Structure 1
Amino acid sequence: MAEGVMQGFPPPADKQVNRGNAMTMPYMRWTFRHTRERAPTAGLRHSDTPLPLPEGTALDLDKVTFRAGKETLSVAEYLQRTFTDGFMVLHRGHVVAQGYYDGLDYHDTHIWASMTKSVTGLLAGFFIEEGLLDPRAKLSRYVPELEGTPFGEATLQQNLDMEVAVSYPEKMPPDLGLFAAVGVVPRRDGMPDNIYDFLRVPSQTEGVDKVWFYQNGSAEAVAWAIRKVADERWSELVSQRIWSRFADDDAYILVDRLMTEMASGGMNATLSDTARFAESVRRALSLTEPRTAFDRAVQRVLAPRDNRDLFATGNFAKARPGYAYHNFWYHRNDANGGLECAGRFGQKIYIDPKRELVVVKLASTPDTARRATRAGTSAGAIQRAPLDTSAVFNAMVDALGNELTD
């Protein structure tokens, strides 16, 4: 583990992880692999018959190169400079590249951060398919407790697409406010101590009509609606309908003091199971006729929706020009139908349906930027590693795709 963090019996005082330093370097590399040792979690059960990941012809990541601005980089250099912890590439279901860095191992779990939202979006697809959720209905139809709030007065689909005109208190931005509600960072006076109360704090943004605003509340509100209609926990539903289909190891998710799962960012899984998740989605998308409820949910959730014009007005527009966003998934809008899950601190899943390609990147990329608190505004400059941008990531996955399909 980097720089001796949490090493020794006991670790030296300056190497100990606490709630104040856990999201800063060098401590967060340890934090992102030991979530369940720091906070309460709920488990997601693995499969009795995990999806096989056979080895294919290996790529040499030192020899696959691409342009990153004015630089030419190898994939191996890019991974090192973006604080990558785990990396895996699948082509037609075969592992053609993988790397475990800074001590990460095959059975080690790693935080997904906001890639968890994409699982919540997929889970919602099951209940929309079954007629238990209507995407056109106000979310308050399913969660009366949210009536009169921005999330409750918006439709389910508006929440799924981040089209909710919501404002958070300046002292409670949508990231730190939720982290505090779950208990993973210090909670200031007046901040809620559970997710349900967190959702009641934001207010409607005045003077904003159509909007795209990325924040955590919408995913938590959708998860609440799912729990209500299913009368079951998010973790149990994900175990039954998604994770137990393919996974080799249990995953887990952060919970608050009421055992409410952090459905917008609390999931943790191994690198290989993250790849299995992405490959399962890719295979479901490739079917002309869906065979299972999982296939139908995937095809519904990932059907294209072109909201690029609205996305371009949002707080992530500069980071992802030309993208669309639907059901908590990013659509790259390229010729290959590229899809992404993305999470803070460098978490990435990329699926290229045309090239039959899956790329997974788990990382500990520093990111201390303050998040926007109000729809219609953008956050400050994102303080990340210079190469940790969507444009550079896309250039990297295109180089991999070209290498595999030339």
Structure 2
Amino acid sequence: MNSHRIMSAFPPAEDQQVTLANWRQHPFSTWAFRNVRELLPTANIAHSPEPTTLSFGQRYLEDVVFAGRSGETTNFSEALRTSHTDGIVVMHRGQVVSEWYANGLAPDTPHLIFSVSKSIAGTLGGILAECSKLDPDAPVTRYIPEMERSVYGGSCTVRHLLDMSVGIRFDEDYMARDGDVINYRRSTGWEPPDAGVPSSHLRQYLQTLRPNGTPHGQTFHYVSTNTDVLGWVYERACGMSYAKILSQYLWQPMGAQHDAYITADSRGAARVAGGICATLRDLARFGEMMRNHGVSNGRQVVPAWWIDDIRRNGNAEAWSRGDLTKVFPNGNYRSKWYTIDRSQSAFAAVGIHGQWIYIDPANATVIARVSSQPLPMDLDFDHMWLRGYRAIATRLHEDA
């Protein structure tokens, strides 16, 4: 089907209609990922009244060469057009040097960023810790006593949530048609209800999760529900909704130009783990702030010590025992951010279907990319783009 025909008529033909049942499937996703607000309830994340000014200086990068998806030689221009990329912004030394949009996306259009949302949540944790709203070493139940009988009770701490080291029984299989991920998505409102399954909302569902017998802190185990619990912790710590916390403590202080928004369940609980929709330029602003040790527009928004901790710490042994070593064999994970290779400085926020914020401090480069890749996880595309990001950063550094 031609993706340009999807949702183009009023009303759309049946086979061109995006619904709750097909919105994450290609080609419907090319429309859905930039129109989430027409499909799901959302909460607004207000922008700054004084946005951080972006400067622009176009650089020719289309001929940057790197190994493609199957090992063949490709270049930046070709990769953009053959990888379901919806948009990309490249910054070097604080200046936008390349910007590209496709599939109806525009500079002022929010796009679903999936688990890049987690890195935003992890960054927010440092701000709340700095202002004594949050103790990362405290047990989860200090903030949410209702979690005592779940996997998040007992010795489970906020730090375990931040670092994905909860010993939880959960299989995060995005391609499954039943089981943990489907039940979780139903609780968030991301899946149509099933008449044969009792209805549940997100906070209710989180309380049903159980341990797998592994001690907390020992193994990196990527489970999205940990981040939703983290968002609930923030709400209890601050006494306000997650969307308002994010706007007040991060989105406005960093100088976001546009409102973002986040999906919410039937009770208003935010999908902290993967529900944020934001514009590419604001994602680039966020990445540039992280590259600059938490400073945006001359203001220290995120404490520098928190960013140092993200880049220098993390448990390499826990990572090596974890479930994403095929993605980053020598990687690490701290406060919802990936260290791509412990021997290098680059770190990243990554979401399924091809969402990235790639930050290379050594080469003063930030790359924000959004996509509607058909598969949730496609390592060939991910590794191709990782090679591409490195090649672009190298070109910019060498030509500076």
State whether TM-score is above 0.5: yes
Does the CA-based 8 Å contact 1:87-1:98 persist in structure 2?
yes
The residue aligned with 1:64 is: 64
Q: Which residue of 2 aligns with 1:377?
A: none
Query: 1:121 touches 1:301 (CA, 8 Å); kept in 2?
Result: no
Pairing of 1:286-301 with structure 2 (within 5 A): 292-296=300-304, 298-299=306-307
Question: How far off its partner does 1:173 sit?
Answer: 4.5
Structure 1, unpaired ranges of 5+? 369-381
- TM-score, L = length of structure 2: 0.90
**Residues 145-178 of structure 1 deviation map (CA, whole Å, 9 limit, x = unaligned):** 1113112331111111000111138986454333
Cα distance change of structure 1 residues 51 and 207 upon mapping to structure 2, 3 Å threshold: closer
Instruction: Identify the residue that residue 179 of structure 1 maps to in structure 2.
Output: 185
**Aligned-residue CA RMSD (Å):** 2.2
Displacement, 1:17? 0.7
Aligned-partner SS, 2:381: coil
Give the whole-Å Cα distance in 1 for the aligned partners of 2:250 and 2:191: 29
The match for 1:402 among 368, 371, 394 is: 394
Q: How does 1:5-404 map to 2 (within 5 A)?
A: 5-61=6-62, 63-68=63-68, 70-153=71-154, 154-168=156-170, 173-188=179-194, 189-190=196-197, 192-206=199-213, 210-245=218-253, 246-285=255-294, 292-296=300-304, 298-299=306-307, 302-334=310-342, 336-367=344-375, 382=377, 384=378, 387-389=380-382, 391-404=383-396
- Which is further off, 189-198 or 101-110? 189-198
- Please tell me the residue identity of whatever aligns with 2:289: S
In the aligned structure 1, how far is the partner of 2:343 from the partner of 2:332? Answer: 14
Aligned residue for 1:354, secondary structure, equals: helix
Does the CA contact (< 8 Å) of 1:281 and 1:298 recur in 2?
no
**Separation in 2 of the partners of 1:341 and 1:308?**
18
Cα distance, 1:394 vs. partner? Answer: 2.0
2:44 & 2:385 partners in 1: Cα distance? 31
Superposed CA deviations along residues 2-47 of structure 1, whole A, max 9, x for unmatched, are: 2400011111111001111111111011110101111111111111
2-structure distance, mates of 1:300, 1:149 = 32
Name 1:374's counterpart in structure 2. none
Q: List gaps (5 residues or longer) in structure 2.
A: none
Residues 250 and 301, structure 2, Cα contact 8 Å, conserved in 1 = no
Distance 2:342 2:334 in 1: 15
Name the % identity. 28
CA offset at residue 301 of structure 1?
5.5
* Cα deviation, residue 308, structure 1: 2.2
Deviations 1:224-278, CA, capped at 9 Å, x for gaps: 1111111111111111111113111111000111111111000001111111111
| Distance in 1 between residues matched to 2:20 and 2:299, nearest whole Å | 46
What does residue 378 of structure 1 align with?
Answer: none
SS at match of 2:393: helix
Q: State the SS of the aligned residue for 1:150.
A: coil
Amino acid aligned to 2:18: V
Over 3 Å counting, the alpha-carbon distance change for 1:334 and 1:90 in structure 2 is farther
- Say which SS state the counterpart of residue 191 (structure 2) adopts: coil
- Tell whether the 8 Å contact from 2:149 to 2:207 is kept in structure 1 after alignment: no
1:353-395 per-position Cα deviation (integer Å, ceiling 9, x unaligned): 1211100110001126xxxxxxxxxxxxx5x3x6312x32221
Bigger CA drift: 38-47 or 120-129?
120-129
Q: CA–CA distance in 2 between the matches of 1:78 and 1:102? A: 15
State the Cα deviation string for residues 272-330 of structure 1 (Å, max 9, x = none): 1111111122223579xx96353447536624214222112212111221110000111
Structure 1 residues 175, 298: CA separation in 2 closer, same or farther (over 3 Å shift)?
farther
CA distance, structure 2, for counterparts of residue 17 and residue 57 of structure 1 = 36
Change (3 A) 1:301 1:48: farther
Number of residue equivalences:
387
